Amino acid sequence: MTNRKVLPLEHEHQDENDLAAIKEIEDGLDLLEKNVPVYTPDLQFFEQLITDQKQIMKKKLLRDLAIFIVVALLVVSSVLFMLYQLPVAFFILQGIVTVFIIAYSTVSFVKQVNGT
């Protein structure tokens, strides 16, 4: 607080120049605001845009859902196949997955602790 008294005059001058630059910027942007015409479409245009976007979202959702179901069926059928046809491979895979999850969680936790 006491340092405020000894602010150099150069800073004041710098502030003046900054303010002048800001004023120029504001004036320039104001020119764009006032002089570039913007045509606003009618309400139907916006309604159509919303309908189209909702259709796109619906299609995307259905596609994602289909991909998810196909992948899930593949994973489940291969796991069941392994369990009944190759039980040793199944238990080895279970072990590997468990070790991987424990290792991954530990590394993430350590990183988080070190980061804070």
Nearer to other proteins, 36 or 88 (CB): 36
Smallest separation (angstroms) from other proteins to the CB of 46: 4
b/e per residue 38-59 (b: at least 16 CB within 10 A)? eeeeeeeeeeeeeeeeeeeeee
Tokens, residue 46:
């916006």
d(CA 13, CA 11): 5
Tokens 């069941």 label which residue?
80
Binding site for other proteins (CB under 8 A): 10, 13-14, 17-18, 20-22, 24-33, 35-36, 38, 40-44, 46-47, 49-51, 53-54, 56-57
Smallest separation (angstroms) from other proteins to the CB of 63: 15
Nearer to other proteins, 10 or 88 (CB): 10
Smallest separation (angstroms) from other proteins to the CB of 12: 10
d(CA 103, CA 55): 43
Nearer to other proteins, 22 or 75 (CB): 22
Tokens 């059928």 label which residue?
77
Smallest separation (angstroms) from other proteins to the CB of 31: 6
Nearer to other proteins, 15 or 67 (CB): 15
Tokens, residue 88:
């040793």
